[in-house]
């Protein structure tokens, strides 16, 4: 299958499309600004609190006639452009595939090595987020604004979080079970010995919050890797850019300081110590929606997220925060332990957390609601600093391939560190209401993640989707889930080059990500909760229809509270969501037909921890029979605090090959 690198098959159509859109854009922009001036966000209201009451009204009185006059003046040109633009959409391709040619800017892509399906297997990390990048006037109805600046900031935060060194903390003390890891850093016991990774053996009882500096942590550490291979054997596959901190339980509370030169020599997870932090890397800390004049909503600041500390109990003692200042190279942040994180429930087989960062070594990213095309370009530019392969501008326009007229695309965007082999898009034909104006659908991708010593390709399937959003449209969503399964089955059959007798490809994973717009606890969503999709695909957060696992939390934030000081930064939002009372104040909760009281009373009476409408599903069906797929870690992410009304989610899968497993 040919991947489309341009929206049209020839340059003439591209020129005509650009010309027609140039005629339409002024009218579109004036209309967008006109509507936006009447829909202020809570952040803007707070900023204007000290202004005279008549000031804002005066601004509207002055600007509204100007916008209206310019809008009317641009209408004739927009009409001509529309008449040219609309028929061109029949020749438009359903997506644009972008591959970064200059890999010197891709900090993450250079770290990947060919997986040969040997050793202990390999882990793959998936992320999904609804980023609400609509035209500014429409985004304001979700209480977010400045779409272009948000797109750039979202891209920066994602790549900064994903390009951090991955820290793995191994606990040698048999009495110690209360440490949590860096964002998405495994806390499982070492497999296959402890000589296969860069390791720091220290008597650490607690690791402080440490600042992460810049994007260049993703650059290749070839010299250090060669030294480690020479001295410690071949590293585990799938553990690029990993530093291991080994915690011993022998010092009974005594703190050991890690000197910088020791870390440079033994735990350099990102290459030589003298890293250049130029260009975009001058954004040296993970940016936050930092407050301006006492309010925490500004896009102008890039201050770092301060992680809380990890408490490690050794014997009967607990080390106090003020006694420790241990610094690892590139200062990877370590999360604190909370009541809702890290295997609180003993029957859970994987780690789970609320993280202030996107996971280190993120391999695949699925985004929804990237509707604005200019914002998509800005987001793509930022993501290309980490992801080499991106599929964006997914969907159809006008009346092409769908029943109703489509004004915007599907809003789906996919980014990968692994090469995309095939891609396909389908539009849901049954959208209703305002959702019918967007070409919501499903994007299916096939990626190559390695090869066997016998030159068999190792591939994975990823599906990204966004379902009908209007409440009460249960039947519509169930029909879309049916279509999703059928289209995915067709895509796998059409792109498979294997047969049972002669398997040219080995399938390592099959994952579905997206905003499904229903939760697993609301009484109104019972039909979706019982859909057959959940018999074929597993939801790591779900016990069964109508019941989530106790540690799972909602992913839909209350828009009215996005800019409150308590939740406007990744750290603050993380701390709030770690408490039940905090979640009740800032998450949207499941609805019930039996409760007509106030929102707070309804929240208190309902089970669950908020509406979880963003899903990550995986299956064990249709994969290579000799391999085993397990969830290694699951995370709810607060790094986009103040930028969107959804919580991103991430999942790490371990594909075990069965060879040399302990």
Tell me which residues are annotated as active site.
646
Residue 604 token pair? 């208190």
Query: What is the rounded distance in angstroms from the CA atom of residue 574 to the CA atom of residue 636?
Result: 9
* CA pair distance 522, 600, nearest whole angstrom: 16
Query: Which residues fall within 8 angstroms of residue 92, CB to CB, at 6 or more apart?
Result: 7, 8, 17, 396, 397, 400
C-alpha span between 542 and 4 (Å, rounded): 37
CA 625/CA 506 separation, integer angstroms: 9
Phi–psi pair at 256, nearest 5 degrees? -110, 130
In which order are the strands placed within the sheet that holds 457-466?
Answer: 420-427, 441-451, 457-466, 505-515, 614-618
Give the separation between CA 80 and CA 313, rounded to whole angstroms. Answer: 71
Which stretches does DSSP call E strand in 230-373? Answer: 242-247, 313-314, 317-318, 351-355, 364-370
Comparing CA positions, the residue from 387, 266, 263, 383 lying closest to residue 330 is 263
Q: Please name the helix (run of DSSP H) or strand (run of DSSP E) that holds residue 535, with its range, or none.
A: helix 533-536
Number of neighbours of residue 497 by Cβ within 10 angstroms? 11
Q: Are 209 and 309 in contact (CB under 8 A)?
A: yes
Residue 40, CB-side half-sphere exposure with 13 Å CA sphere? 12
Q: d(Cα 36, Cα 32) in Å, to the nearest integer?
A: 6
CA-wise closest residue to 182 among 162, 167, 203, 195: 167
Token pair belonging to 369: 């609601």
Query: Could you tell me if 162 and 358 are in contact, meaning their C-beta atoms sit under 8 angstroms apart?
Result: yes
* CA 171/CA 349 separation, integer angstroms: 18
Q: How far is CA 108 from the centre of its chain?
A: 15
Bridging pattern class, strands 505-515 and 542-544:
unpaired
């Amino acid at each position: 299958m040919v991947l489309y690198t341009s929206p049209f098959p020839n340059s003439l159509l591209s020129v005509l499309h650009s010309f027609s859109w140039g005629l339409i854009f002024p009218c579109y922009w004036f209309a967008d600004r006109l509507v936006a001036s009447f829909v202020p966000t809570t952040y803007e209201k707070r900023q204007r609190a000290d202004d005279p009451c008549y000031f804002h009204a005066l601004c509207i009185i002055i600007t509204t006639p100007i916008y209206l006059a310019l809008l009317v003046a641009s209408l004739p040109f927009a009409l001509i452009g529309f008449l040219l633009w609309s028929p061109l959409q029949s020749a438009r391709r359903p997506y644009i595939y972008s591959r970064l040619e200059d890999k010197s800017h891709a900090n993450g892509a250079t770290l990947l090595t060919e997986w040969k399906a040997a050793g202990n297997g390999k882990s793959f990390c998936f992320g999904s987020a609804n980023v609400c990048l609509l035209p500014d006037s429409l985004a304001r109805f979700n209480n977010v604004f400045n779409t272009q600046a948000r797109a750039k900031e979202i891209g920066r935060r994602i790549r900064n979080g994903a390009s951090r060194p991955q820290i793995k903390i191994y606990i040698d003390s048999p009495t110690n079970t209360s440490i949590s890891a860096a964002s998405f850093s495994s806390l499982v016991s070492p497999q296959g010995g402890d000589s296969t990774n860069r390791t720091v053996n220290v008597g650490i009882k607690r690791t402080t919050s440490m600042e992460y500096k810049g994007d260049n942590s993703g650059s290749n550490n070839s010299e250090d890797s060669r030294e480690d291979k020479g001295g410690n054997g071949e590293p585990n596959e799938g553990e690029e850019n990993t530093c291991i901190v080994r915690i011993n339980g022998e010092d009974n509370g005594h703190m050991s300081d890690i000197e910088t030169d020791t870390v440079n020599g033994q735990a350099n997870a990102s290459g030589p110590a003298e890293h250049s932090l130029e260009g975009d890397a001058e954004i040296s800390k993970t940016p936050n929606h930092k407050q301006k004049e006492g309010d925490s909503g500004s896009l102008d600041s890039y201050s770092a997220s301060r992680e809380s500390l990890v408490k490690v109990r050794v014997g009967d003692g607990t080390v106090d925060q003020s006694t420790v200042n241990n610094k690892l190279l590139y200062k990877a942040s370590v999360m604190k332990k909370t009541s809702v994180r890290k295997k609180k429930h003993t029957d859970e087989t994987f780690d789970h957390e609320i993280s202030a960062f996107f996971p280190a070594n993120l391999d695949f990213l699925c985004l929804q609601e990237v509707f604005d095309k200019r914002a998509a370009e800005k987001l793509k530019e930022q993501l290309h600093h980490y992801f080499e392969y991106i599929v964006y501008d997914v969907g159809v326009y006008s009346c092409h391939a769908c029943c109703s007229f489509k004004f915007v695309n599907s809003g789906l965007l996919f980014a990968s560190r692994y090469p995309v082999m095939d891609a396909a898009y389908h539009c849901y034909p049954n959208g209703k209401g305002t959702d019918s104006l967007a070409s919501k659908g499903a994007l299916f991708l096939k990626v190559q993640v390695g090869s066997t010593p016998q030159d068999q390709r190792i591939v994975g399937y990823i599906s990204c989707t966004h379902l009908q959003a209007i409440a009460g449209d249960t039947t519509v969503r169930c029909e879309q889930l049916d279509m999703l399964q059928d289209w995915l089955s067709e895509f796998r059959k059409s792109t498979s080059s294997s047969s049972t007798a002669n398997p040219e490809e080995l399938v390592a994973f099959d994952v579905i990500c997206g905003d499904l717009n229903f939760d697993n606890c609301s009484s109104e969503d019972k039909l979706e909760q019982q859909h057959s999709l959940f018999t074929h695909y597993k939801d790591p957060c779900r016990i069964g229809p109508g019941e989530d696992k106790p540690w799972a939390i909602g992913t839909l934030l209350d828009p009215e509270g996005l800019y409150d000081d308590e939740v406007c930064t990744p750290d603050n939002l993380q701390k709030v969501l770690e408490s039940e009372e905090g979640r009740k104040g800032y998450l949207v909760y499941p609805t019930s037909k039996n409760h007509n009281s106030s929102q707070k009373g309804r929240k208190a009476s309902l089970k669950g921890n908020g509406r979880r409408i963003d899903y990550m599903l995986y299956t064990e069906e249709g994969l290579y029979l000799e391999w085993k797929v397990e969830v290694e870690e699951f995370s709810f992410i607060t790094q986009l605090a103040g930028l969107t009304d959804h919580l991103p989610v991430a999942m790490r899968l371990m594909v075990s090959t069965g060879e040399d497993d302990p």
